Amino acid sequence: MPIHTSTPKTKNTMEVQDYTKSIIDTLQQDSNQSYTLQQLCMALKVKEKSDKAKVKKALSALLHKGSIKKISRGRYLHANAPTCYVTGRVDYVRPEYAYIVAPDQPKDVLVQQKNLLSALDKDLVKVRLLPTGRRKRPEGIVVEIIERNTAPVIGRIIATGEQPQAVVEQKRMTYTVLLKEAKQAILKKNDKVVIALTSFTNLNNQLTGKIVQHLGQAGLHEVEMHAIMAEFGLKDTFPEEVLSSTKNIPRVIPEEEITKRRDCRGIPTFTIDPADAKDFDDALSYQPLANGRHQVGIHIADVSYYVLPDSLLDKEAYARNTSVYLVDRCIPMLPELLSNELCSLRPNETKLTFSAIFELDAAGKIYDKWFGETIIYSNKRFAYEEAQAAIDNQTGDFHQALTLLNNLAKQLRAKRLEKGAINFETRALVFQLDADGKPLQVIPKVRTDAHKLIEEFMLLANKEVATYVAKLKQKQEKLGPTFIYRTHDHPDPDKLNEFFLFVKQLGYKIKVGKAPIYKAMHALEKAIQGKQEENIIQSLAIRSMAKALYTTKPDPHFALAFAHYSHFTSPIRRYADLLAHRLLKKYLKGERIYDIAFYEQKCQYAVERECLAVNAERASIKYKQVEFIQNLKDEIFEGIISGITEWNMYIEIISNACEGMVRLSDLTDDTYIFEEHNFQVVGQHSKKCYRLGDMVKVKVKSCDLDKRYINFWLC
């Protein structure tokens, strides 16, 4: 048998070396750009199978020499590529991936589940950023878990006996916890429990923990609502020492306090609130003036009189920071004695208030304004429906005053819109529950003129209070005295352009150019009114906007078109309003406070607590939606595609606003590819297309109450 000479081997080595140089040259062109084997072959114009094998061999040789490095998902990078790290909190989105929320990053960092290093939701982690790949969003790999999130988690018992276990469903991820020191006798399968994790060693996706609260059987209304409260760290009871401290609060208003205040008890005054409300923050008064104008009083509960700075009550209110409204209950910021009794502007009772009183003409022009401490007597408590009936039918208590206020509110609203206010709203839901808390119906809330009337006068008070303080600055001052403002930045141009591109693809002609944004938004709002896609477009419009924030900076509020804005009108349920009251009282007396650092910290905490409250409220709504829809598995629903990702299409049912998802993997007629910029998925072979905003018919595939989501089949 002949023996091969070294010539072919040398030739092969030469070919590999040629590819080696080409690979190095390609990777050096942009040291931050990574390539897969396929992408390198395309860049090198290699098409033959045998040549691709040589490229692969060259890559192995370069890796061995350390000239290049291999990163996640088979991507290659030049060895001299810079390595960047960021620190942030894990935000689990799906079982497949999580985002790392880093304050110093303009965009959250995407991390695949296999690269999370066993990190759990809200863990603080160090992430190595990967070079730019096929996604616009930055991607990374967790290299260190800096701090574990020690907040309790909610589990459901799946095994009792000598070694109890619970399954934890947390933001689409699932893991099992071995329970130590559990009282086995009281545990039953499917019980909901609150667990403090004691060991984070991730062995076979299991952790260890101990039960800190036994809630009861999963699926029961009270158990599930308390599970949501525990998940978000909400408590419906107050510490005993806080309740004891309220015993010293006088139940009767001292006469000397009454004499200090502007007495408005003789002016017709009333509240308008939801039918089931108990904490009445605000009241309106109305009286015609001899000059033909109108005096409107916006009277806000004077919580600052009862809640003194640094008291036990104040510290507890600050810690809670906001009342939280679940589908069936309010978790109050203040104990019931204050929120529902002493501070609540109940009918036929004398109450202490902090008021903004305006003199306006019929066109809504303000001629005079006054801010200060008052005392009122509410003559009537209206539910929204009752107030609307009085306006519509022109009968009943105070129907003339309500009608005049409604006309003034419409004038104020028109002025706001003329100045550039944007008026998109998300659809709110009301659940009709039976005696056991089971949802019988899901009904979208209807906004009437009575709702808009109250809203408009609250906006007026908030704007004018903020403007008053912002203008207190001396000539030499860049900023006036410190205050709590509510600001809203201009939208991100990229997000806005993406939104306009979407609505254009739906067939709406949007003129975007040198004209102000609000004009395009007003035209769109008018065009979509009454259309099936109205709600999804409104939701996407809101998502394209910046988030409103609390800050000490007197910046504008873009969506309201106000130069200055604050939250002044709800101190029973928002701590920011209570702070605004305290500061404004000092400024009305001629005092000044300049302490940006102290109050900015309080603003940031208020933003965090507001976000938590919103998420808790959404969780309770989502749970009840799933509970409602799971009994309708045989029905076919008409829905609209409200969201699209690489893995799922999200469908919102038109009749009840319940949202679920259709997995792309469940579409068996073709393989569907996500086209992000076209807001659609397209069949690879059939070219069949599903676009955001399309109408579809769906049927319930499955419901998961623990994860609070609905899976649909596409019909």
Domain with CATH 2.40.50.140 in the chain: 153-218, 630-714
Band (513; pLDDT cuts 50, 70, 90): confident
Fold of 7-78: Arc Repressor Mutant, subunit A (1.10.10)
Give the tokens for residue 657: 């606003």
In DSSP terms, which residues pair with 177 in a beta bridge?
166, 207
Taking 50 as the threshold, does the pLDDT of residue 215 lie above it? Answer: yes
> According to the model, what pLDDT value does residue 50 have?
84
Question: H helices of 321-398, where?
Answer: 336, 384-393
Domain with CATH 1.10.10 in the chain: 7-78
Q: Tens of pLDDT along 268-292?
A: 999 999 999 989 999 999 999 999 9
User: Using CA atoms, how far apart are residues 259 and 279, in angstroms rounded to an integer?
Assistant: 26
Fold of 84-147: OB fold (Dihydrolipoamide Acetyltransferase, E2P) (2.40.50)
Beta strands 324-325; 380-383: pairing state: unpaired
Amino acid identity, position 425: E
User: Using CA atoms, how far apart are residues 213 and 237, in angstroms rounded to an integer?
Assistant: 15
Q: Tens of pLDDT along 99-148?
A: 999 887 778 899 988 888 888 888 999 998 887 655 567 888 888 899 99
Q: Max alpha carbon distance in the chain (Å)?
A: 122
Q: Tens of pLDDT along 219-245?
A: 999 999 999 999 999 999 999 999 999
In DSSP terms, which residues pair with 193 in a beta bridge?
155, 214
Q: Tens of pLDDT along 614-673?
A: 999 999 999 999 999 999 999 999 999 999 988 899 999 998 889 999 999 999 999 999
> According to the model, what pLDDT value does residue 512 have?
75
Residue bearing the bigger pLDDT, 387 or 502: 387
> According to the model, what pLDDT value does residue 71 have?
66
Question: H helices of 246-369, where?
Answer: 255-259, 303-306, 312-320, 336
Taking 80 as the threshold, does the pLDDT of residue 329 lie above it? Answer: yes
Give the C-alpha distances (Å, rounded to integers) separating 186 from 178, 208, 411, 677: 16, 19, 63, 54
- Is 440 buried (19+), middle (13-18) or exposed (0-12) by CB count in 10 A? exposed
Band (79; pLDDT cuts 50, 70, 90): confident
Band (316; pLDDT cuts 50, 70, 90): very high
Residue bearing the bigger pLDDT, 66 or 205: 66
> According to the model, what pLDDT value does residue 116 have?
86
Tokens 């623990």 -> residue: 706
Helix axis angle, 493-505 to 534-543, nearest 10°? 160
Q: Tens of pLDDT along 436-495?
A: 999 999 988 889 999 999 999 999 999 999 999 999 987 778 888 999 999 999 998 888
> According to the model, what pLDDT value does residue 80 have?
75
Give the tokens for residue 130: 């990967």
In DSSP terms, which residues pair with 439 in a beta bridge?
433
Residue bearing the bigger pLDDT, 161 or 354: 354
Residue ranges of E strands in 120-190: 124-129, 140-147, 153-159, 165-170, 173-179
Fold of 153-218: OB fold (Dihydrolipoamide Acetyltransferase, E2P) (2.40.50)
Report whether 627 contacts 227 (CB < 8 A): no
Q: Tens of pLDDT along 167-183?
A: 998 766 788 899 988 77
Residue bearing the bigger pLDDT, 91 or 606: 606
Taking 80 as the threshold, does the pLDDT of residue 2 lie above it? Answer: no
Domain with CATH 2.40.50.690 in the chain: 84-147
> According to the model, what pLDDT value does residue 17 have?
65
Helix %, strand %, coil % for the chain, to 5?
35, 30, 35
CATH superfamily assigned to domain 630-714: Nucleic acid-binding proteins (2.40.50.140)
> According to the model, what pLDDT value does residue 202 have?
56
User: Using CA atoms, how far apart are residues 219 and 222, in angstroms rounded to an integer?
Assistant: 9
Beta strands 173-179; 84-94: pairing state: unpaired
Average pLDDT, whole number, for the chain? 90
> According to the model, what pLDDT value does residue 32 have?
62
Beta strands 380-383; 269-273: pairing state: parallel
Which of 29-43, 78-92, 182-196, 681-695: highest mean pLDDT? 681-695
> According to the model, what pLDDT value does residue 8 have?
43
Q: What percent of the chain has pLDDT over 70?
A: 94
Q: Tens of pLDDT along 687-707?
A: 999 999 999 999 999 999 988
Band (4; pLDDT cuts 50, 70, 90): very low
Out of 25-29, 440-444, 469-473, 563-567, pick the least confident.
25-29
> According to the model, what pLDDT value does residue 9 have?
44
Q: Tens of pLDDT along 288-309?
A: 999 999 999 999 999 999 999 9
Q: Rounded to the nearest 5°, which phi and psi values hold at 366?
A: -90, 125
- Is 451 buried (19+), middle (13-18) or exposed (0-12) by CB count in 10 A? middle
